[in-house]
Structure 1
Amino acid sequence: MAEELKHLIEQIQKEGVEKANEQAETIISQAKGKAAKIIAEAEEKSNAALAKAKTESEAFAERSVKTLEQAARDLLITVGQGCEKVVTAVLGKEVDGALSGNVLEKMITSAVAMGSGSVQLVVSENDKAALTSYCASIAKSSGQSIELTSDSEILSGFKVSFKDKNVYLDYTGEAVAEALATFLRPELAKTVSVVAREQLTNA
């Protein structure tokens, strides 16, 4: 009886140990599975975060480049406009200085020669007194009727109209300077652009 009881106890202990081992292995396996899942999810989140960060950094870099390019274009436009103002101002002064004396008289003579009959000249108030006798001599030699008047808005040069032909021409300093500035603008823009490119290349 004691022998059978001992055997039974050993059998129960053996089965208990085996069952405990099986449960332990199951728990360990489940723990490993959960750990692997947690690691996989963490890696997936990490990769997603890295991919998002990379995409955002590339987008930021692209936006930064575009912003810099636009700033460079704006700067070139501003510099070009500044240069244009300086050139136009200098040009205006030079034209005003040139449209006087003999040059003005020759231009008036050439303008009057383009028409016939009645001619009207409009000059600055300062130039009217100096040109009165000169215009009278032109009228006498050409046989044309020249009406000389002044306009306070004209600073230099003159305006001429031929009544018979209904033609009006503007040779004022302002008109001549604007015509020259219009001609210079493309070349000025080209020069500014070339200089800017050279500076960027050498930077």
Structure 2
Amino acid sequence: MPPETLTPARILETTEDVLRRYGPAKATVVDVARALGVSHGSVYRHFGSKAALREAVTQRWLDQSHTALSAFADAEGPAEPRLREWLAGLFAAKRHKAGDDPELFATYMVLVGENSSVVDRHIETMIEQLARIVSGGVRDGDFLAVDPAPTARAIWDATNRFHDPAYAAEWFRPGIDAAFEAVCDLVLRGLRSA
């Protein structure tokens, strides 16, 4: 049986496994190549550096959240429940990643510390999704007539405790769900047109 073709997707899957096994500080491209049964040069043909490979893994990881949350942003129906579901979905995804995939979450934290463009793009995507929900709410009369982009940014900032990795240790404390609901209620009350 011929060996499996080396593709970027296969490299990223293997890199995730290597990161989970060794952590972001110790995982190397050589480790990834060894796990794939290829030379490290073969990996470098797809990803020019260890940093590029790590960013690609993180981008893939974040894209999963983008896809799931875009369903709320683009759904039909009243904006208020869509916004609450979007915020709850983001919080659940972040909490899941921090608790169930700590090694990849640690990689994300490394990239945040490096001010990676991957993180900047992630935040832009999240705010664009929020703006689509707010825009629909304004259009349908559910929300006050506001400028969606700065309002979306304000929502992002107001809910920071529930998605910024700096607060990950708080996401598992007693009372965090009630605190989340209180912030959601406050944000939605501020947006309502009536």
**TM-score, normalised to structure 1's length?**
0.23
Whichever structure has more strand as a proportion of its residues is 1
Larger Rg: 1
